[in-house]
Structure 1
């Protein structure tokens, strides 16, 4: 129980800081710790189902904290969730049909590409088209930044994010945050906070499908949940103390680490 509490706390704190959710830590940890520490065999579908269940607590706690600080763009989160929510249910229903090793490696390679794009984003020409939905954000120093998106690209990206979230149980922030930063010019802190709001809806619907299919373990979910609630709140608190440049570097380091893990393991 203490191991699971610590796992939920560490994974959720880190996931809330960078907006990834924490599933990238929980899923492999359950697969590795199941036989030796927990005395049970945890297969891929069960690990994904439990991870999504825990992500509900993580994302709820962090989203409420970010909302109190005015960093969550709730309207944008709900817009992305129009497609990410239903597609997370589709992904959850397909988890058992895919070869997990092949899919993990392919996704790891894609994450490496996202890291390269994030590192080079200062040299990439920003999108100059007209956004239909325009938002503005004013930081603590009084500087105002404009960002936005068009309906079709946002819905397509939201759908892919939801599919990946339900399929792998990792939340989907690994795709959503790079898209927000590179395509829609979201400020890093707004991207992190908004991503957690989208993850909440995707995790809620995706975990419901895994629960219905029996790919679930209440003992694991409820043992991880207290640490996830605390970690989601703590990660959101830590995130506000980190500058935008450092936050992007932490995101890149996290994506690089988990990309390598997905490719090599």
Structure 2
């Protein structure tokens, strides 16, 4: 029964994470920690173990959804690789810090950040604001018959990506909760391209972060092997559903999830 429950949880979190580009860790981790507290069969789900498993799940969620997104032409691979310059080192640093820093001390502030990012997504970008980063590298991508134009400032992208990578390794999240809003608000990415490019980046970041946690002995492999196929299935379903939605709908779902997760983190941090 515990394996079936784990499979269902894995599919649900991977689906949600893939749908809006979050990775799924922000949903998986609190669920497993609650089960650890109230269900004896989940006594193995300690904070370090949960973070490690979460990152493995995110690897396969991101891989399966990224394959689907690339086939649909939603991924800005050039920008994705530029973001990786900062996010991979950040992920390694965050994973290393995880064993020394009690991350629960940061939940209050991290929750507040999620609420702040969700509120920022209510801001409508006007057409005249799109070339705001003229000094950045020009981008153009055609998706669903519409061409989108935006610019990426490489140094700003690296700094933001490093912070996102560090949060990923430290908290066991994909980092999309910060990366997707940043792509939309700062660089002018269309929501669906931001989601797809975020998952592309998250795959590589989580791969390095999960590897670090594995070397530190933070994985329960018998459960990892259950969550891997769940992540693959959920990731595919999430990417498929994303392609059927409008950019505004994706943004609304992202705002809703950020608010819910942010409130939960704030309550946890105040507890």
Could you state the TM-score of these two structures normalised by the residue count of structure 2? Answer: 0.93
Q: Deviations over 1:50-80 (max 9, x none)?
A: 1001111100000001011111111111110
SS at match of 2:33: helix
Unaligned runs of 5+ in 2: none
Q: CA deviation at 1:101?
A: 2.2
Q: 2:140 aligns with which of 129, 132, 136?
A: 136
**Aligned residue among 72, 91, 96 for 2:94:** 91
Look up the match of 2:119. Answer: 116
User: 2:170 aligns to what?
Assistant: 167
Q: Is the 8 A contact 1:87 1:160 kept in 2?
A: yes
SS in 1 for 2:139: strand
Tell me what 1:199 maps to.
Answer: 202
Partner of residue 245, structure 1: 248
Give every structure 1 segment of 4 or more consecutive aligned residues whose post-TM-superposition deviation is greater than 4 Å. none
Residues 61-102 of structure 1: CA distance to partner in whole angstroms, max 9, x if unpaired? 000010111111111111101110111011001112223222
What SS class does the counterpart of residue 121 from structure 2 fall into? helix
Normalising by structure 1, we get a TM-score of 0.95
How far, CA to CA, are the matches of 2:265 and 2:128 in structure 1?
30
SS in 2 for 1:138: strand
Of 59, 62, 72, the residue aligned with 1:69 is 72
Q: Deviations over 1:110-137 (max 9, x none)?
A: 1111111111234798362314321112
Q: Distance in 2 between matches of 1:52 and 1:253?
A: 23
Count of residues in Structure 1 that have an aligned counterpart in Structure 2: 264
Closer/same/farther in 2, CA of residues 247 and 149 from structure 1, 3 Å limit:
same
Residue aligning to 1:28? 30
Alignment of 1:206-225 (within 5 A): 206-225=209-228
1:101 equivalent to 2:75? Answer: no
Shift of 1:39: 4.1
Structure 1 unaligned blocks of 5 or more: none
Note the alpha carbon deviations across 1:200-226, whole angstroms, 9 max, x for none.
Answer: 011000011101111111112111111
Aligned residue for 1:119, secondary structure, equals: coil
Distance in 2 (alpha carbons) for counterparts of 1:8 and 1:82:
29
In the other structure, the counterpart of 1:46 is: 49
**Cα 1:139/1:39, change in 2 over 3 Å:** closer
Asked whether the equivalents of residues 133 and 152 of structure 2 are also in contact (C-alpha less than 8 Å), the reply is no
Residue 16 of structure 2 corresponds to residue 14 of structure 1: yes
In structure 2, the partner of 1:2 is: 4
Which residue of 229, 233, 251 corresponds with 2:232? 229
